């Protein structure tokens, strides 16, 4: 009887909380994402798009935002060895470069087509989504 009750309870938990079960079963922890950004006008639209994308991952990612010009941001930049003026850098589990199929994508600068051309990187919001999907095991 105890065995039947235990199995029933386990099935109820799996049915009611599938996300919690999957995380517990895999022993996974959230993917760490760090964003170094300049908090000014030209970047606001891009930051809004990134925040919207991140929201779709819920607790599968843990995001830390580092304002380029803040005291905390200064320390973060120093720890990462960043000395140049860069409006945006995104690290996924401590890597700002992701391998997506045959290409490597570096999440530095504005996405392609956004912001001043001089500060545009060679990545898109879709590339960032693909990298996050890969890091979180989503397909």
Higher pLDDT, 66 or 108: 66
Q: What is the pLDDT of residue 83?
A: 86
How far is Cα 73 from Cα 124, in angstroms, rounded to an integer? 24
Alpha carbon distances (Å) from 62 to 6, 82, 117, 118, 134 = 33, 22, 30, 30, 15
In a domain, 17, yes or no: no
Q: For residue 60, what are the domain limits?
A: 28-136
Tell me whether residue 114 is in a domain: yes
From the centroid of its chain, how far is CA 43?
Answer: 17
Cβ partners under 8 Å of residue 86, min gap 6:
36, 68, 108, 109, 119
Is residue 93 one of the residues assigned to a domain? yes
**Alpha-carbon distance values, 94 to 16, 76, 82 (Å):** 34, 12, 14
CA angle 103, 135, 51 (to 5 degrees): 95
Domain assignment present for residue 82? The answer is yes
Examine residue 99 and state whether it is found in any structural domain, yes or no: yes
2-6, 57-61, 90-94: least confidently modelled range: 2-6
CATH no. for residue 91? Answer: 3.40.30.10
Q: Give residue 13's pLDDT.
A: 44
Q: What are residue 97's phi and psi, to 5 degrees?
A: -120, 135
Is there a domain that residue 8 lies in? Answer: no
Distance CA 8, CA 15 (A): 10
The answer as to whether 72 is a domain residue is yes
| 33 CA to centre of own chain | 4
Report yes or no on 36 lying in a domain: yes
Q: In this model, does residue 27 exceed pLDDT 60? A: no
Whole-number pLDDT of residue 138: 74
Q: What is the pLDDT of residue 117?
A: 63
If you search the block for the tokens 């170094």, which residue do you land on?
36
Task: Look at the chain and report how many structural domains it folds into.
Answer: 1
- The predicted-structure confidence for 37-82, as pLDDT tens digits, reads as follows 998 878 788 899 999 999 999 999 999 999 999 999 999 989 999 8
């Amino acid at each position: 009887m105890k065995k039947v009750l235990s199995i029933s309870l386990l099935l109820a938990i799996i049915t009611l909380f599938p996300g919690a079960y999957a995380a517990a079963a895999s022993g996974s922890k959230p993917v760490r994402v760090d964003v170094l950004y300049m908090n000014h006008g030209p970047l606001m639209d891009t930051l809004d798009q990134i925040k919207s994308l991140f929201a779709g991952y819920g607790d599968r990612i843990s995001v830390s935002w580092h304002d380029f010009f803040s005291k905390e941001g200064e320390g973060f930049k120093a720890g990462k060895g960043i000395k140049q003026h860069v409006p945006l850098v995104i690290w996924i589990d401590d890597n700002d470069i992701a391998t997506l199929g045959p290409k490597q994508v570096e999440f530095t600068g504005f996405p392609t087509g956004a912001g001043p051309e001089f500060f545009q990187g060679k990545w898109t919001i879709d590339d960032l989504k693909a990298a996050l999907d890969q890091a979180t095991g989503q397909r």
